[in-house]
Amino acid sequence: MISPHGGTLVNRVVEGAERDALIAKAAQLPQFPLNSREASDLEMIAVGAMSPLEGFMGQADYDSVVANMRLANGTAWPLPVVLATKGGFDAPAVGSEIALVGEDGTVYGTMQVSDVWAPDKKNELDKCYSGSGSQADESHPAWGYLSSIGDTYVGGAIVVANLPGYEKHNDYRLTPVQTRAAFAERGWNTIVAFQTRNPIHRAHEYLTKVALEQTDGLLVHPLVGDTKSDDIPSDTRMECYHALLSKYYPLDRTMLGVYPQAMRYGGPREAILHALCRQNYGCTHIIIGRDHAGVGSYYGTFDAQAIFQNFEPGEIGIDTLLFEHAFYCKLTGGMASTKSSPASNEDKIFLSGTKVREMLTNGERPPAEFTRPEVADILIAAYAAKETANA
């Protein structure tokens, strides 16, 4: 099976007597609050999904990642994973130990503080979230997050006694150890990951099935951490995935799990992050389509594919499957892309997200060539319920 990024699958979760001792120690330490995104990152670090990270980044790693997309030791890593101060809480001293606490008061574990520094958040925004489409500015979702946190970052290794708890999707919250075991049990040697924060429409279905022709299994791995307020909620999306997979996919070659990370809307750099983390989950391939992890017009259509060329062979272990924009082709009577269809634009069926949302809000099914009717019905019901709640 594919090696984790950095060579070792990190585990920062303690159990049994060690867990009891950590909880007792944490009760005597100064508390440091984590917001929901930081709690998601803590979970990803603790279970090895963000290997080789063993904690929140220190300044040397942060500076190197922002400037060069690599940790200070040269290992490929595209985006900062940091812990920030919050209102009313002072930064701890370097060398101190703190208890990491969630928004609900849960004590997750402890962190040995190795670094405390004031980052240049404008530089972070510019370097990490700009693309060939346009320069990142204060309307970018990343700035909304960066401006909501404190002006001091705190880094250090973590030890975790309690992972964050959730009310939803718990049967699908598989750790990298669990996904790797599941792949081995199924006899899959090559596994392709499909990252999504949206329902799967016909173009996505086409990409995943083309990928399945080349691999042993497909991991549909939707992101269920924080997303923008206008993104479709995860419970609605999960209902769509179940409806689609149960009828239109070979269940012996398909697996559904959720990905707890928060969305950064980092375009090309986030595509690298999604790839490296899926490698840690045991995937050998990942689908990278048009505008992966994009938002607005900040990134070029295929920036997320081109960025992988910035890394030498072997720096990133997972293989990328790169796809053009897919559509239903009236000329050939099936799904296609510009690589496989000679159709002109009038023979292509693809709808904008704005048009689809307008149709769903009005209770209209998008064309069957765009989305499966079972998925459309779920979305129409969800939009209707939202309209009723907002009335």
User: Which residue numbers are catalytic?
Assistant: 197-198
How open is the CA angle 30-35-36, to the nearest 5 degrees?
135
Interatomic CA distance for residues 37 and 78, integer angstroms: 17
- Residues 200, 203, 209, 211: is their CA dihedral positive or negative? negative
Residue type, 212: L
Per DSSP bridges, beta strands 217-222 and 107-117 are unpaired
Q: Considering only CA atoms, which of 53, 44, 40, 61 is closest in space to residue 119?
A: 61
- Give the tokens for residue 311: 């890394």
Q: What span, in angstroms and rounded, lies between the C-alpha atoms of 237 and 40?
A: 19
Do the strands 334-337 and 326-329 form a parallel or antiparallel pair, or are they unpaired? antiparallel
Residue 100 has φ and ψ, to the nearest 5°, of: -95, 125
- The DSSP H or E segment spanning 388 is helix 373-390
Which helix (DSSP H) or strand (DSSP E) does residue 288 occupy? Answer: strand 285-288
Q: Which residue has the tokens 């969800």?
A: 382
The answer to whether the CB of 45 falls within 8 A of the CB of 12 is: yes
What gap in Å lies between CA 359 and CA 332, rounded to an integer?
Answer: 26
Q: Is the dihedral of CA 235, 237, 238, 240 positive or negative?
A: positive
Contact yes or no for 243/199 (Cβ under 8 A) = no
Phi, psi (rounded to 5 degrees) for 241: -60, -45
